[in-house]
């Protein structure tokens, strides 16, 4: 029993660290699944959280190489910005009856998988540090945390349904994460220097959040204008 106590404590630490680091992931899950029919949302959240945890386990295996790869975070941040704008805009097309429920479910899971893969580059370092090389502890801790991530996504989705402004706040958060990720790329740190890069972290995050919100607003406005400028023309 004495030998099990430290292991159990490490599992609790991994669960706690994962919960703390999964706030943005819960936002992604909620935004990606909000466009699903109500009877498919739970399946989407469970599958999305499972895929997210699986990717974190895989990335922990190769994280040292990934984090030292120049331009990887730059590409990842740009992709995350695009995902944030898509999540902000996609939920508006409720009339997409052409897309089957199954297709929309897999589209949501794919979006969650890509976004979580990008955002997990840094997060898994903390999880790996707590596990101290024990794959059993890491897998157990992450697996146990799946329901907690789903609960977080469910709460966020409930807020989104009641207060639509949370859609914008969630998308802005992803833009913030993308800005921080971009400025932490090894190549940029080498060019700017660690001190300058650290000072630019907050401005880069603000620019990322603002860029997502402005792009989302522009796309929505363009869609509304396009819808208003298509009157029926008289047949000559």
User: What's the domain count of the chain?
Assistant: 1
- Any domain includes 210: yes
Asked whether residue 123 is domain-assigned, the answer is: yes
Q: What is the domain extent for residue 51?
A: 4-228
- Structure letter (DSSP) for residue 99: S
Q: What would the 3-class secondary structure string for 130-176 be?
A: HHCCCHHHHHHHHHHHHHHHHHHHHHHHHHHHHCCHHHHHHHHHHHH
- Residue 213 falls inside a structural domain: yes
Handedness of CA 100, 154, 128, 116 (dihedral sign): positive
pLDDT single digits (tens) 188-234: 999 999 999 999 999 999 999 999 999 988 887 887 666 665 555 55
pTM over 0.85: no
Query: Could you read off the pLDDT of 32-61 as tens digits, one per residue?
Result: 887 788 778 888 888 887 777 777 777 766
Cβ pair 21, 52 in contact under 8 A: no
Distance separating the N- and C-terminal Cα atoms of the chain: 88
Q: Flag whether 69 is in a domain.
A: yes
In a domain, 234, yes or no: no
Residue 157 lies in a domain: yes
Over the stretch 212-221, which tens digit does the pLDDT of each residue have?
999 988 887 8
Q: Is residue 236 part of a domain?
A: no
Examine residue 37 and state whether it is found in any structural domain, yes or no.
Answer: yes
């Amino acid at each position: 029993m004495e030998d099990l106590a430290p292991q159990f404590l490490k599992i609790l630490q991994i669960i706690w660290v994962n919960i703390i680091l999964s706030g943005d992931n819960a936002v992604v899950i909620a935004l990606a699944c909000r466009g699903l029919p109500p009877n498919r949302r739970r399946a989407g959240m469970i599958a999305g959280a499972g895929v997210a945890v699986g990717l974190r386990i895989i990335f922990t295996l190769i994280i040292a190489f990934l984090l030292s790869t120049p331009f990887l975070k730059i590409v990842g941040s740009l992709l995350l910005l695009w995902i944030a704008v898509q999540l902000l805009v996609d939920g508006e097309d409720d009339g997409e009856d052409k897309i089957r429920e199954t297709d929309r479910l897999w589209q949501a899971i794919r979006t969650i998988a890509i976004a979580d893969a990008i955002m997990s580059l840094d997060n898994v370092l903390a999880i790996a540090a707590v596990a101290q090389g024990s794959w059993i502890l890491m897998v157990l801790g992450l697996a146990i945390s799946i329901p907690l991530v789903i609960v977080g996504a469910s709460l966020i989705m409930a807020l989104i349904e009641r207060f639509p402004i949370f859609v914008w706040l969630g998308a802005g958060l992803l833009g913030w994460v993308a800005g921080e990720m971009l400025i932490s790329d090894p190549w940029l740190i080498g060019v700017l220097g660690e001190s300058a890069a650290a000072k630019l972290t907050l401005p880069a995050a603000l620019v990322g959040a603002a860029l997502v919100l402005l792009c989302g607003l522009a796309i929505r406005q363009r869609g509304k204008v396009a819808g208003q400028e298509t009157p029926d023309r008289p047949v000559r």
